[in-house]
Amino acid sequence: MSQQDWPSAPGLPQKQGLYDPANERDNCGLGFIADIKNRKSHDIVRDGLQILINLDHRGAIGADPLAGDGAGILLQVPDRLFQEECPKLGFDLPPAGDYAVGMVFLPTNKKTLDKCIVAFDKVVPEEGQSIIGWRDVPVDNSYLGESVKPIEPVIRQIFIAKGKGFEDTDAFERKLFVIRKRVHHELWDHDIEDKKQFYITSLSTRTITYKGMMLAPNVDNYFLDLRDERTESALALVHQRFSTNTFPSWPLAQPFRYLCHNGEINTVRGNINWMAARRHNMKSDILGDDLEKLWPLIGDGSSDSATFDNALELLVAGGYSLAHAMMMMIPEAWSGNPLMDDDRRAFYEYHAALMEPWDGPASMAFTDGRQIGATLDRNGLRPSRYIVTDDDKVILGSEVGVLPIPESKIVKKWRLQPGKMLLIDLEEGRIVDDEELKATLATTKPYQKWLDETQIKLEELPMEVSAMTPDKKTILDRQQAFGYTQEDIKFYLEPMAIHGIDPLGSMGSDIPPTVLSDRPKNLYGYFKQNFAQVTNPPIDPIREESVMSLVSLIGPRPNLLDLNTGGTHKRLEVSQPILSNVDLEKIRRIENKVGHAFQTYTLDICYGATDGPDGMKGALDALCEKAQLVVTEGHNILILSDRGVNADRVAIPALLATAAVHHHLIREGLRTEVGLVVETGEARQVHDFCLLAGYGAEAISPYLAFETLSQLHHNLPGEMSERQAHNNYVKSVSKGILKVMSKMGIST
């Protein structure tokens, strides 16, 4: 089953027209209460529900007054409740920690429901565990809206006993993760009616999630367990969903298995693609052969928050602590922070090669049942405030006043700061300060030593190469071949070379959309810049430069789940993705300068003009096959080049070639083994570079733009040198990329 085969969640339309369920986003309210000393009580549950009610205004209500976008609560497993209720159903439970409980949404169709049960019956014993029994979750659906009742699932709890050889609870948790993924895949591999109604909300020895498409005040009215005094927990994590420009559904209500989220992950499509690309080079000493059973890890149709939760699950199962994984996925601004200590900077710099940031405005609250915490994105674009009381309670919410606490009982009140983390360790019975937490994690491994052994900065390599000599006699022919116009040169390239900024114009664009134009256009013109609809306030790439970064890493990606070594792959770092001609030649001839750590191969993306337009598909196929071959032969940097264009050879559009090679290598499991650099005469505008980077290029060399500026520099004002004109152009493109990123609500 491929990742693209996953249907959308129940309640969501299928992909159609301009709508794609992969673009699901939400913007919500969240909160938690925790007893620092891990004292379980029903009062914590009750207070958690009150927080949820007080966040009701952060949710959405449609024309149906009882239909909400989703609300829920995550608790520690209420062992007392289950120990007393399960004997009434004919089975007894082992002690807490020796069994797991899963909250399962099942289809209402009896035939499909039975197939779901059979899937559990098959998978659980195969994974060395045993099913103790099932329990129907008591609900009162009179509190559901009429529009919600038709898609209300059957909700049951499954109890699974820990098998022999699983004395470690963490090992049992990992096996439960495998069981959940395998059961899901078992159903999706078959053509089963209404299977998209099936969803495992949680499956754990430690936590359980009650959630659904109801209003916040009705969560405990619907789930009767939550009103039972025997439902006890030392923590309660709650979430009220507002699905902004998307559709609500039962599975996409929050909390998820580890977290709840207020904000928007604007890099989610790239994050999903890179997680899929890592599949074939990922190995884990902890998960072993079970790792392969987890794929596909992320299904299309999930929201950005659900996708984040899936990736977080993998990291935790692979051996990272919860806080460590969160720091990898949402790193604080480190590259431009002069006040950060060296150990912490090395930590973030090392992990930058392991995983790209999940970037965008985010307030994340997370728990594994033993620790509970929250963090903000590096810009602090979503609010979170917390208080600590004199009876050792911590209360956090998207705003102040989520619980009516007398001022006399409050010993501390503060807010989460950009990139900072609040963590309560219930097993140790204390709040772990951000500084202590990160200092501890940053010094557990020799990250600076690993960086010194693997990091190579392009700017530090010797300048023993010269750029290719341009053919001045053919520059006009090549400009025409790549669609250059006088407007491109006069109103775009010249101002960039003179002023070093992306040129501005007024009155908008008066040309027809590319798709409707009767004139030949570059492929870039068929794409339009996206923007983050609910990222507010916008990021300022000038005044907030310290949180922005254009650093790019070229070459093989290390094993994400290798926790104990620095890896064997070298990392080639460039400060920004636009390469000068000299920089490109450094990469082209890098092999002997770095002890053969990198081997570069240049792929010609041109084909015979006599083959005509129909020849492009064959040329693309041949290009992808050649790329696959040279990677398997050991080359780990590919340069896609259209320098070979002439009267007899036509260039495949660089964007098309880049995307084709990028995704072909992903499908073949080779993308993480190689870096992708593009040498093209096409790219000249900021939009072009953003598209190439978005479709897989790690660096781009716009050689024809540089040649054009070299031809023009004598006509530029003052005594501007050719080199200064080139530098100003690179500077302006970099600024333009940052501006586009800021509109997208991302920083790296």
Find where tokens 């790792």 sit: 291
d(CA 252, CA 300): 12
Integer-rounded Cα Rg, in Å, for the chain is: 28
Find where tokens 């997370």 sit: 366
Q: CB–CB of 686/502 below 8 Å?
A: yes
Tell me the C-alpha to C-alpha distance, in Å, between residue 223 and each of 103, 129, 402, 705: 12, 28, 22, 64
The Cβ of residue 218 has, within 10 Å, a number of other Cβ atoms equal to 20
Encoded tokens for 129: 């565990």
- The pair phi, psi for residue 278, each rounded to 5°, is -75, -10
- Long-range pairs, 337-341, Cβ under 8 A, ≥24: 337/546, 341/439, 341/442
The Cβ of residue 274 has, within 10 Å, a number of other Cβ atoms equal to 19
Q: Within a 13 Å sphere around the CA of 277, how many CA atoms are in the beta-carbon half? A: 25
The question of whether 28 is a catalytic residue gets the answer yes
Contacts of 76 (CB under 8 A, 6+ apart): 40, 206, 207, 208, 232, 233, 234, 235, 369
Q: CB–CB of 398/362 below 8 Å?
A: no
Contacts of 95 (CB under 8 A, 6+ apart): none
Residue of 28, 116, 606, 624 marked catalytic: 28
For residues 460-469, one letter each, b for 16 or more C-beta atoms within 10 angstroms of the residue's C-beta and e for the rest, the string is: ebeeebebee
d(CA 338, CA 350): 17
Q: CB–CB of 401/50 below 8 Å?
A: no
Q: How far is C-alpha 739 from the geometric centre of its chain's CA atoms? A: 21
d(CA 243, CA 266): 15
Q: Based on the number of CB atoms within 10 Å of its own CB, is 194 exposed (0-12), middle (13-18) or buried (19 or more)? A: middle
Question: Regarding beta strands 649-651 and 606-608, do their DSSP bridges make them parallel or antiparallel, or are they unpaired?
Answer: antiparallel
d(CA 226, CA 215): 15
Range list of β-strands (E), 125-170:
130-136, 154-161
Catalytic positions, please? 28
